C-alpha cells in the first residue's frame, strides 16, 4: 500500500477512509457516507493519489456559514 496519507472525505468530512479492491480495480472509499474515488487498474498507490488530488470542497474556504 501507499505511504501517502489519505485525505478526509470531501462529502462528509470523515477521516474513516479505506483503500479497496474490486476485481482488478483499485479505489478509495469513505466508510461513513460510501463515497468512492476514481477507479484505476494501475495500482493502489495510483488510487490514493487520485483520491488526494480531487477537487477541494468549497465549504472549506469559508470561515462562517454562507447563509449569514
- Residue-wise pLDDT for 10-44, tens only, equals 888 889 999 999 899 999 999 999 999 888 999 99
In-domain check, residue 67: no
Rounded to an integer, what distance in angstroms lies between the CA atom of residue 31 and that of residue 13? 11
Q: Are strands 25-30 and 17-22 parallel, antiparallel or unpaired?
A: antiparallel
Q: Does residue 65 carry a pLDDT above 80?
A: no
pTM of the model: 0.69
pLDDT at 68: 47
C-alpha cell at 5: 496519507
In-domain check, residue 50: yes
Is 13 in a helix, a strand, or coil?
Answer: coil
User: Quick one: pLDDT band at residue 4, thresholds 50, 70, 90?
Assistant: confident
Q: In which domain, by residue range, is 36 found?
A: 1-56
Look at the chain and report how many structural domains it folds into: 1
In-domain check, residue 65: no
In-domain check, residue 63: no
Alpha-helix residue ranges (DSSP H) falling in the chain: 44-52
Q: Does residue 61 carry a pLDDT above 70?
A: no
Amino acid at each position: 500500500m501507499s505511504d501517502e496519507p489519505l485525505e478526509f472525505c470531501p462529502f462528509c468530512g470523515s477521516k474513516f477512509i479505506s483503500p479497496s479492491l474490486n476485481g482488478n480495480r483499485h479505489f478509495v472509499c469513505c466508510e461513513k457516507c460510501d463515497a468512492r474515488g476514481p477507479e484505476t487498474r494501475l495500482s493502489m498507490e495510483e488510487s490514493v493519489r487520485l483520491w488526494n488530488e480531487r477537487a477541494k470542497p468549497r465549504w472549506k474556504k469559508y470561515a462562517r456559514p454562507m447563509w449569514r
